[in-house]
Structure 1
Amino acid sequence: MAARRNRPGFKLSDITGEDADSATAAGLGAGVPTVTAKEWQPRRPVSGTPFANFHKIVDPSGALNFNGKAILHASGVDFSNGASFAINMDQLELQDELGKGAYGTVKRVLHRPTKVAMAMKEIRLELDESKLNAILMELDILHRAVHPSIVEFYGAFFIETCVYYCMEFMDAGSLDKLYGVGVPEDVLARIVASMVRGLKFLKDDLQIIHRDVKPTNVLVNMKGQVKLCDFGVSGQLEKSLAKTNIGCQSYMAPERIKGESQNALSTYTVSSDVWSVGLATIEIGLGAYPYPPETYSNVFAQLQAIVHGDPPVLPAKYTETACDWVSKCLVKRPEGRASYAELLEHPFLVNDAGNTVDMAAWVSRAVAWRDKQREKERQAVLAKEAPPPHE
């Protein structure tokens, strides 16, 4: 992984001014994207700001200090184990907006010292100690999650009441905007194989369950690489039945829907993510979410269909092998679902490992299709907004 992190044109030492290999000396293991912590300049005091009441976390310089485990400040994050991520806003050239949500925004930025394009995610902090510690937990996960099927984390910093995460920029965007072009079986297998490997790594190496597996959280680049994102807490804070509205696309497993309806919130296991993988696979192959909200009278009818109805299946164009693989994910009883290891050992993904798949060509077609669709939508909006012609 060290070679991948230190690829030509981008080294963590370019950002931090330190040798990335010093991570090994700090006891963090070779290949982990960390460097020795550096001194940082204090920011202005926060007295009089909303954070003034959080003196246990916010020190007089304006940094967030988490029980000696990490310090989050304007120039980056310093972990007590010696890890440091020293990116700051002055190094970044803001470019276009990539997305917006309840948490904040995601923008494309250029990191000037390295000329590397990044996606910068803004997280507005809740003024609550548990939420602040949840953010720290996510940062801790991000800096340890080094895997070819996981979007790379470059660094983070804190300004006022926002944390900014700098991540790998996946230039083809999210899968939900691409699958409408049509997904051949070899491409589908390559996509889901990457998803399963990433999820298996999170579970086996970091003891993390993703909890939000869906096509919008699967990113693609023009090279044809497929990577998971949003496996940290920021993507999970609002995920509950109480927040579900008609029009939403639920990827919750049946046991989670039943558990939350009975306030039994401990029902989430790795098998719940396996269900979400199966549902996402159906959506990618079908080109649409398999429980269309518009076909149900309300959100409860939609959730009832997920819990009690027959699981969806892949379209007829896919082989029996592909359909069998998906059926192993969509077993109603969680204990009956396949494990990640079993999914990888299934002929559907074993065959994929031996195939040559031109993912870059498919991504190129999918991006061209997406851009054409967006232009049609733009033209339709313009036509609707245009004033009527004078008679």
Structure 2
Amino acid sequence: MPEIDPWGDVEITDYEATMKQFGIEPIADLADRLPDNRLVRRNIVFGHRDLDTVLDARDEGDPFAMMTGIMPSGVFHFGHLGVVDQVLMFQDMGAELTLCAADIESYATREMSLEDARELVVEEYLLNYVALGLDLDSTDFYFQSQAGNDHQVRSKLFAKHVTQNEFEATYGNADPGKMVSALTQYADILRPQSPEHGGPKPTVVPVGIDQDPHVRLTRDVASRYRDASYLKPASTYHRFMRGLQGGKMSSSDPKSYIALTDSIADAKRKIDEAKTGGRVSIEEHREKGANVEEDMVFELLAYHLVEDDDELRRIRTEYESGAMLSGELKAIAKDRLELFLRDHQQKREEARPKVEQYVAEHADEELA
């Protein structure tokens, strides 16, 4: 089934203009207050809104939270890792973690059954999250359809605090499925601050810039809702990793991504077929060097496969100068990718019994 994005098919090219338009601050201003993180150092996580409130709470020893969601839209690939890396950063900082599986939204807006959505969440997302380092026992993980009566009622009460004009101006239309999904998302984002989860506390939501409309309207709802003292949620923003062929990475186009469950052979083949910034001939490449900004293999290295900044800088310098050929860059990527996938896929299988037991126990709790 093709991937359908009910919130719009966006491809951001001018991040600075988008930041200025919507009041997003550069995260570089707070980098010295954050743990050392590759994505922050390289400006891949580039912006924030009110993140200082979360950091202030951490510094003062007060509770703070991180909330994110899983949209079951296809296989889990390297384009999803940016969010997980941030989740793990906030986990290490001591945040209370909330992880929502959006099965209601996938049913309402993506023509997917609840059963298929739940199966996809476990097999493609939750297993990968745990294999990457998520502490499931310390996480409030839930399916939207099993979030509890208080959560569902609260999402309906929030409808009073958003006008139809605001909704249409933000999302383009007021389709019933979209309205239900959005109201449910507001409840999801504010869930860490609900009375049953300890009440108001600074909460950060790491998102791509395309999800900022949800954050902005949730902030409005939080300030207007008088039956609880919600704090406006903070947010961080990361750049989209482009597809292997250039352009947008999409779960509906297997050539555009490397899945974390791809075989080593398939992953290497995708590297070989990826768009590079190398020149047509070796002679021209040696003379002019590569256009690194248009090289999807280098982007994969920069986002996820090379941790050391000095090493990445050396690779870039050699490639841009023409000393390194595209084939040599691909060889580096394939070696790093093989190491990553072998280690990760082993951890996935090690995580499987724990994840399956966790999901079964929580399903039993919902039925009890």
For the aligned pair, the TM-score class normalised by the smaller chain equals: under 0.3
Q: What TM-score, normalized to structure 2?
A: 0.25
Higher RCO (CA 8 Å, separation ≥ 6 residues): 2
Higher-helix-fraction structure:
2
Q: Which has the larger radius of gyration?
A: 1
